[in-house]
Amino acid sequence: MLHVTDISKSFGSQTLLDKASLHVKPGMRVGLVGPNGAGKTTLLRLIVGEMSLDGGEISARRDLRIGFLPQEIEEIADHAVMDEVLASHADVLSAERRIAELGQQIGQAYAATGEVAPVADPEELLRELGSLQTAYENAHGYELETRAQTILRGMGFRDADFHRQIAELSGGWRMRVALSRLLLEQPDLLLMDEPTNHLDLESLLWLEEFLLSWPGSLIVISHDRYFLNRMVTHIADLDRGIIDLYAGDYDHFEQEKKQR
Protein backbone atom coordinates (compact mmCIF):
# COMPACT_ATOMS: atom_id res chain seq x y z
CA MET A 1 0.00 0.00 0.00
CA LEU A 2 2.99 2.31 0.65
CA HIS A 3 6.36 1.89 -1.01
CA VAL A 4 9.38 3.94 0.03
CA THR A 5 12.10 2.94 -2.41
CA ASP A 6 15.77 3.95 -2.31
CA ILE A 7 15.04 7.45 -1.06
CA SER A 8 17.71 10.00 -0.19
CA LYS A 9 17.53 13.26 1.73
CA SER A 10 20.30 15.59 2.86
CA PHE A 11 20.49 18.93 4.59
CA GLY A 12 23.73 20.58 3.60
CA SER A 13 26.53 18.14 4.38
CA GLN A 14 24.31 16.00 6.64
CA THR A 15 22.78 12.96 4.97
CA LEU A 16 19.72 11.65 6.82
CA LEU A 17 18.44 9.12 4.29
CA ASP A 18 20.75 7.26 1.92
CA LYS A 19 18.86 4.95 -0.47
CA ALA A 20 16.50 3.95 2.35
CA SER A 21 13.51 1.69 1.67
CA LEU A 22 10.38 0.73 3.59
CA HIS A 23 7.31 -1.13 2.34
CA VAL A 24 4.13 -1.04 4.43
CA LYS A 25 1.42 -3.61 3.77
CA PRO A 26 -2.22 -3.43 4.91
CA GLY A 27 -2.57 -4.17 8.62
CA MET A 28 1.06 -3.46 9.49
CA ARG A 29 1.70 -1.33 12.59
CA VAL A 30 5.26 -0.08 12.33
CA GLY A 31 7.29 1.48 15.12
CA LEU A 32 9.87 3.85 13.61
CA VAL A 33 12.92 4.04 15.87
CA GLY A 34 16.49 5.28 15.67
CA PRO A 35 18.93 7.71 17.28
CA ASN A 36 17.90 11.32 17.82
CA GLY A 37 18.50 13.26 14.63
CA ALA A 38 18.50 10.13 12.46
CA GLY A 39 15.71 11.48 10.25
CA LYS A 40 12.57 9.81 11.59
CA THR A 41 10.42 12.94 11.49
CA THR A 42 11.89 13.83 8.10
CA LEU A 43 10.78 10.44 6.75
CA LEU A 44 7.19 11.02 7.83
CA ARG A 45 7.19 14.50 6.32
CA LEU A 46 8.53 13.09 3.06
CA ILE A 47 5.76 10.48 2.98
CA VAL A 48 3.03 13.13 3.30
CA GLY A 49 4.71 15.43 0.80
CA GLU A 50 5.77 18.20 3.17
CA MET A 51 9.35 17.83 1.93
CA SER A 52 10.85 16.95 -1.43
CA LEU A 53 13.11 13.97 -2.08
CA ASP A 54 16.70 14.27 -3.23
CA GLY A 55 16.41 10.85 -4.83
CA GLY A 56 14.35 7.68 -4.92
CA GLU A 57 10.59 7.30 -4.97
CA ILE A 58 7.61 7.18 -2.63
CA SER A 59 4.50 5.61 -4.13
CA ALA A 60 1.17 4.56 -2.68
CA ARG A 61 -2.12 3.02 -3.68
CA ARG A 62 -4.03 5.65 -5.63
CA ASP A 63 -6.95 5.89 -3.20
CA LEU A 64 -4.80 5.63 -0.05
CA ARG A 65 -5.90 8.10 2.64
CA ILE A 66 -2.99 9.16 4.86
CA GLY A 67 -3.35 10.99 8.17
CA PHE A 68 -0.40 12.68 9.89
CA LEU A 69 -0.02 13.79 13.50
CA PRO A 70 3.15 15.91 13.85
CA GLN A 71 4.99 16.13 17.15
CA GLU A 72 4.08 19.79 17.53
CA ILE A 73 0.80 21.33 16.37
CA GLU A 74 1.89 24.59 14.75
CA GLU A 75 -1.50 25.93 13.72
CA ILE A 76 -5.09 24.81 14.13
CA ALA A 77 -8.32 26.60 13.26
CA ASP A 78 -9.77 28.71 16.06
CA HIS A 79 -13.22 27.29 16.61
CA ALA A 80 -14.91 24.87 18.98
CA VAL A 81 -13.24 21.58 19.86
CA MET A 82 -16.13 19.45 18.57
CA ASP A 83 -16.35 21.45 15.33
CA GLU A 84 -12.66 20.83 14.63
CA VAL A 85 -12.98 17.08 15.21
CA LEU A 86 -16.09 16.81 13.05
CA ALA A 87 -14.44 18.85 10.28
CA SER A 88 -12.73 15.65 9.13
CA HIS A 89 -16.15 14.63 7.77
CA ALA A 90 -17.10 17.84 5.97
CA ASP A 91 -18.99 15.91 3.28
CA VAL A 92 -21.14 14.15 5.88
CA LEU A 93 -21.90 17.43 7.66
CA SER A 94 -22.81 19.03 4.33
CA ALA A 95 -25.20 16.17 3.59
CA GLU A 96 -26.73 16.55 7.06
CA ARG A 97 -27.41 20.24 6.46
CA ARG A 98 -28.89 19.54 3.03
CA ILE A 99 -31.17 16.83 4.46
CA ALA A 100 -32.52 19.35 6.97
CA GLU A 101 -33.03 21.92 4.21
CA LEU A 102 -34.86 19.42 2.03
CA GLY A 103 -37.16 18.50 4.90
CA GLN A 104 -38.17 22.13 5.24
CA GLN A 105 -38.57 22.61 1.48
CA ILE A 106 -40.73 19.51 1.14
CA GLY A 107 -42.97 20.76 3.92
CA GLN A 108 -43.25 24.16 2.25
CA ALA A 109 -43.98 22.56 -1.14
CA TYR A 110 -47.37 21.43 0.08
CA ALA A 111 -50.18 23.76 1.03
CA ALA A 112 -51.99 23.13 4.28
CA THR A 113 -54.78 21.49 2.32
CA GLY A 114 -52.36 19.05 0.75
CA GLU A 115 -52.29 20.81 -2.60
CA VAL A 116 -48.93 21.19 -4.25
CA ALA A 117 -47.58 24.71 -4.12
CA PRO A 118 -45.98 25.92 -7.37
CA VAL A 119 -42.68 26.91 -5.74
CA ALA A 120 -41.09 23.42 -5.89
CA ASP A 121 -41.56 19.90 -7.24
CA PRO A 122 -41.96 17.73 -4.12
CA GLU A 123 -41.25 14.50 -6.01
CA GLU A 124 -37.89 15.82 -7.17
CA LEU A 125 -37.10 16.97 -3.62
CA LEU A 126 -38.11 13.57 -2.24
CA ARG A 127 -35.82 11.78 -4.71
CA GLU A 128 -32.89 13.98 -3.68
CA LEU A 129 -33.73 13.45 -0.03
CA GLY A 130 -33.84 9.68 -0.43
CA SER A 131 -30.50 9.62 -2.23
CA LEU A 132 -28.87 11.83 0.39
CA GLN A 133 -30.25 9.81 3.29
CA THR A 134 -28.88 6.59 1.79
CA ALA A 135 -25.42 8.14 1.36
CA TYR A 136 -25.60 9.61 4.87
CA GLU A 137 -26.45 6.23 6.38
CA ASN A 138 -23.67 4.49 4.41
CA ALA A 139 -21.22 7.05 5.81
CA HIS A 140 -22.51 6.30 9.34
CA GLY A 141 -23.60 9.91 9.64
CA TYR A 142 -26.12 9.22 12.38
CA GLU A 143 -23.31 7.84 14.57
CA LEU A 144 -20.73 10.50 13.76
CA GLU A 145 -21.19 12.87 16.69
CA THR A 146 -21.51 9.98 19.15
CA ARG A 147 -18.21 8.55 17.89
CA ALA A 148 -16.59 11.99 18.17
CA GLN A 149 -17.78 12.31 21.76
CA THR A 150 -16.39 8.87 22.63
CA ILE A 151 -12.98 9.72 21.18
CA LEU A 152 -12.80 13.12 22.88
CA ARG A 153 -13.69 11.56 26.24
CA GLY A 154 -11.01 8.94 25.67
CA MET A 155 -8.54 11.77 25.06
CA GLY A 156 -9.44 13.25 28.44
CA PHE A 157 -11.94 15.95 27.45
CA ARG A 158 -15.00 16.56 29.58
CA ASP A 159 -18.35 17.09 27.92
CA ALA A 160 -18.16 20.76 28.93
CA ASP A 161 -14.95 21.07 26.87
CA PHE A 162 -16.59 20.06 23.59
CA HIS A 163 -17.68 23.63 22.85
CA ARG A 164 -14.60 25.41 24.19
CA GLN A 165 -12.61 27.46 21.71
CA ILE A 166 -9.33 25.85 20.68
CA ALA A 167 -7.54 29.17 21.32
CA GLU A 168 -8.19 28.59 25.04
CA LEU A 169 -6.26 25.29 25.05
CA SER A 170 -2.59 24.62 25.72
CA GLY A 171 -0.38 23.05 23.07
CA GLY A 172 -0.76 19.60 24.61
CA TRP A 173 -4.54 19.77 24.55
CA ARG A 174 -4.51 21.09 20.98
CA MET A 175 -2.50 18.00 20.06
CA ARG A 176 -5.26 15.88 21.61
CA VAL A 177 -7.82 17.70 19.45
CA ALA A 178 -5.75 17.02 16.32
CA LEU A 179 -5.34 13.36 17.28
CA SER A 180 -9.07 13.03 17.97
CA ARG A 181 -9.84 14.38 14.52
CA LEU A 182 -7.53 11.83 12.91
CA LEU A 183 -8.99 8.96 14.92
CA LEU A 184 -12.49 9.94 13.85
CA GLU A 185 -11.36 10.28 10.24
CA GLN A 186 -9.89 6.74 10.22
CA PRO A 187 -7.35 7.12 7.39
CA ASP A 188 -5.99 3.99 5.74
CA LEU A 189 -2.50 4.85 6.97
CA LEU A 190 -1.92 6.85 10.15
CA LEU A 191 1.46 8.48 10.77
CA MET A 192 2.14 9.70 14.31
CA ASP A 193 5.21 11.48 15.65
CA GLU A 194 5.54 10.95 19.42
CA PRO A 195 1.77 10.80 20.09
CA THR A 196 2.19 9.86 23.76
CA ASN A 197 4.19 12.96 24.78
CA HIS A 198 1.18 14.95 25.99
CA LEU A 199 -1.03 12.12 27.23
CA ASP A 200 -1.70 11.15 30.82
CA LEU A 201 -1.78 7.45 31.73
CA GLU A 202 -5.54 7.11 31.40
CA SER A 203 -5.62 8.66 27.92
CA LEU A 204 -2.57 6.64 26.87
CA LEU A 205 -4.21 3.37 27.86
CA TRP A 206 -7.38 4.38 26.02
CA LEU A 207 -5.38 5.23 22.90
CA GLU A 208 -3.61 1.88 23.01
CA GLU A 209 -6.90 -0.01 23.15
CA PHE A 210 -8.34 2.11 20.34
CA LEU A 211 -5.35 1.57 18.07
CA LEU A 212 -5.26 -2.17 18.72
CA SER A 213 -8.62 -2.35 16.95
CA TRP A 214 -7.54 0.15 14.27
CA PRO A 215 -8.58 -1.22 10.85
CA GLY A 216 -5.82 0.59 8.97
CA SER A 217 -2.03 0.62 9.03
CA LEU A 218 0.20 2.67 11.28
CA ILE A 219 3.67 4.18 11.38
CA VAL A 220 4.52 5.67 14.76
CA ILE A 221 7.62 7.34 16.17
CA SER A 222 7.89 6.80 19.90
CA HIS A 223 10.54 6.55 22.61
CA ASP A 224 8.07 4.69 24.83
CA ARG A 225 9.13 1.06 24.55
CA TYR A 226 6.09 -0.14 26.51
CA PHE A 227 3.80 1.61 24.03
CA LEU A 228 5.70 0.07 21.11
CA ASN A 229 5.60 -3.39 22.68
CA ARG A 230 1.84 -3.13 22.96
CA MET A 231 1.17 -1.57 19.59
CA VAL A 232 3.43 -2.62 16.78
CA THR A 233 3.79 -5.63 14.52
CA HIS A 234 7.12 -4.42 13.08
CA ILE A 235 10.02 -2.15 13.98
CA ALA A 236 11.67 0.02 11.31
CA ASP A 237 15.15 0.92 12.55
CA LEU A 238 16.48 4.09 10.89
CA ASP A 239 20.19 4.46 11.48
CA ARG A 240 22.98 5.99 9.36
CA GLY A 241 20.56 6.68 6.53
CA ILE A 242 19.32 3.11 6.13
CA ILE A 243 16.08 1.47 7.30
CA ASP A 244 16.11 -2.12 8.56
CA LEU A 245 12.71 -3.75 9.13
CA TYR A 246 12.17 -6.28 11.91
CA ALA A 247 9.03 -8.34 12.52
CA GLY A 248 7.76 -8.28 16.10
CA ASP A 249 7.65 -5.82 18.99
CA TYR A 250 10.38 -3.59 20.38
CA ASP A 251 11.84 -6.16 22.78
CA HIS A 252 12.13 -8.71 19.97
CA PHE A 253 13.78 -6.07 17.78
CA GLU A 254 16.44 -5.37 20.41
CA GLN A 255 17.27 -9.05 20.75
CA GLU A 256 17.37 -9.67 16.99
CA LYS A 257 19.46 -6.59 16.27
CA LYS A 258 22.14 -7.80 18.68
CA GLN A 259 22.31 -11.10 16.81
CA ARG A 260 22.66 -9.56 13.33
Number of H helices, E strands in the chain: 9, 9
pLDDT digits (tens, 9 = 90+) for 148-169: 999 999 999 999 999 999 988 9
Global pTM reads: 0.82
Report CA 14 to chain centroid distance, whole Å: 31
With a cut of 80, say whether residue 105 has pLDDT above it. no
In the sheet that holds 29-33, the strands lie side by side as 66-69, 189-193, 217-221, 29-33, 234-239, 242-247
Number of C-beta neighbours around residue 11 at 10 A: 11
- 174-189 tens-digit pLDDT: 999 999 999 998 999 9
Beta strands in the chain (DSSP E): 2-11, 14-24, 29-33, 55-60, 66-69, 189-193, 217-221, 234-239, 242-247
Q: Encode pLDDT of 41-58 as tens digits.
A: 999 999 999 999 999 999
**225 burial level (CB within 10 Å; 0-12, 13-18, 19+):** middle
How far apart, in Å, are the Cα atoms of 239 and each of 11, 27, 179, 245? 16, 25, 28, 11
**Which positions ≥6 away from 185 have C-beta within 8 Å?**
65, 67, 88, 89
Structural domain boundaries in the chain? 85-169
Contact 64, 41 (CB under 8 A): no
